[in-house]
Amino acid sequence: MIRMTRQSDYGIVLVSHLAAYPERSFGAPDLAAQVKLPLPIVRKILKLLTRGGLLTSLRGTKGGYTLARPPAAISVADVVTALEGPIALTECIDNTPGSCTRETICPLRPRWQHINQVVRQALSTISLSELIEPLPPGHLLPVFEAVHATPAAVQSSLR
């Protein structure tokens, strides 16, 4: 399946929670309790997000994590990238020679780059602030409404 890992899933949940109270600091135990996820995993994910530059951490008693940037400046793509590395649907993206045995003959190789680009673009469209803002009537996000209301327009803009 085209699935993001549970780590990313949890990561987005965590970061969204932080985004709801920007500037404020949360300890891993607090966060785990509030989001109702197992502490060890929450710890692991917070560390990764910090390493990725999305969170700022403070050690020691009274330590904790804070968003490194305002919610509007963090996208779903950022979170996923921090937790899983570059977003790529296929292996033949990272230009590491040898990662694909067919690289010399594969006529589709250049195309994959674009497919990945499209997905990456789609995910970087969605910011944290978008994720936490109250649901508009009908439970539809703006981005969703656009995609559904004017598929032709979207498609043509993507072509």
Distance CA 41, CA 32 (A): 9
Residue 64 has φ and ψ, to the nearest 5°, of 160, -170
Contacts of 147 (CB under 8 A, 6+ apart): 154
Q: Does 34 bind its own copies (CB under 8 A)?
A: no
Q: Does 98 bind DNA (CB under 7 A)?
A: no
Among 13, 41, 48, 68, interactor with its own copies by CB under 8 A: 13
| Residue positions counted in the chain | 159
Query: In the block, which residue shows the tokens 């969170």?
Result: 55
Q: Does 41 bind its own copies (CB under 8 A)?
A: no
Q: Does 126 bind its own copies (CB under 8 A)?
A: yes
CB of 51 to DNA, least distance (A): 5
Strand partners, 58: 64
Q: Does 82 bind DNA (CB under 7 A)?
A: no
**How far is C-alpha 52 from the geometric centre of its chain's CA atoms?**
12
Strand partners, 91: none
DSSP 89: S
Cβ contact 77:42 at 8 Å: no
Region from 22-30, 41-49, 60-68, 101-109 binding its own copies, contact rule CB under 8 A: 101-109
Region from 41-49, 74-82, 118-126, 140-148 binding DNA, contact rule CB under 7 A: 41-49
Contacts of 80 (CB under 8 A, 6+ apart): 4, 8, 11, 12, 87, 123
CB of 58 to its own copies, least distance (A): 26
Kindly tell me which of 28 and 131 has the beta carbon lying closer to DNA. Answer: 28
Residues 59 to 78 in contact with DNA, rule: CB under 7 A: 59-65
Residue 152, binding choice from its own copies, DNA, none, Cβ under 5 to 8 Å by partner class: none
Among 20, 33, 34, 58, interactor with DNA by CB under 7 A: 58
Q: Does 119 bind its own copies (CB under 8 A)?
A: yes
